[in-house]
Amino acid sequence: MKVGKRLEGVRVQPQSLGPFLHFRRGRYTRNLVYRDSRLEVVVNCWAAGTSSPIHDHSQQECWFSIQAGTFQLEDYPLLAGGLEPGYALLGSPSLTEAVGAGHVDYRGPLDSIHRVTALQGPAVTLHVYAAPVERCLVFDVRRRRCSCRQLSYHSVFGRPVEARPGSELLSRL
């Protein structure tokens, strides 16, 4: 939890985030700032009204600090299944009031299923993962299913990543 305490109220100088600020209309982008075997730092850039899918963090700890914009956070309890691709029953979400710059959110192995929506944008979040997250489960509440999603980046160390034919460039996580 020391990471979360250190992130409370942290506002990174906007000019230092410049190389990592890559926005796309209608979606958000994941922009890699730093990564080693024990830590990953990602800047997410959100267009107003965009949402992440309902997802987990593959049993990793994650802290994110809102740098700009206003967000709605939805937490989902896992009622059955949902530990691997296939059947997953989620309970009704609990919603936060709108949160803005300086707010820090924590996700641990037992409370990781959530959705993030940018209410006002452009919006920016700074994510710190206790270890790199290469894939996660994405949940479909209506179908009571979850599937594995391979994660990727829109930019790495400030340089945009080229899309490969047939790949989904960072689009939704």
Structural domain span for residue 79: 2-11+37-156
The model's pTM is: 0.85
**169 located within any domain:** no
The token pair that represents 14 in the structure block: 């906007």
Q: For position 36, what pLDDT does the model report?
A: 94
Q: For position 166, what pLDDT does the model report?
A: 43
**116 located within any domain:** yes
CATH at 63? 2.60.120.10
Number of separate domains in the chain: 1
Q: For position 164, what pLDDT does the model report?
A: 52
Per-block average pLDDT, block size 10, for the chain (173 residues)? 57 79 92 94 95 92 92 96 96 94 88 92 92 94 97 94 53 40
Strand, helix or coil for residue 34: strand
C-beta neighbour count of 157 within 10 angstroms: 12
Rounded-to-integer distance, Cα 138 and Cα 129, Å: 18
For residues 102 and 140, is the Cβ–Cβ distance under 8 A?
no
Nearest CA among 98, 62, 85 for reference residue 149: 85
**2-52 tens-digit pLDDT:** 655 555 666 677 678 889 999 998 899 999 999 999 999 999 999 999 999
For residue 118, with 0-12 CB atoms within 10 Å meaning exposed, 13-18 middle and 19 or more buried, which class applies? Answer: buried
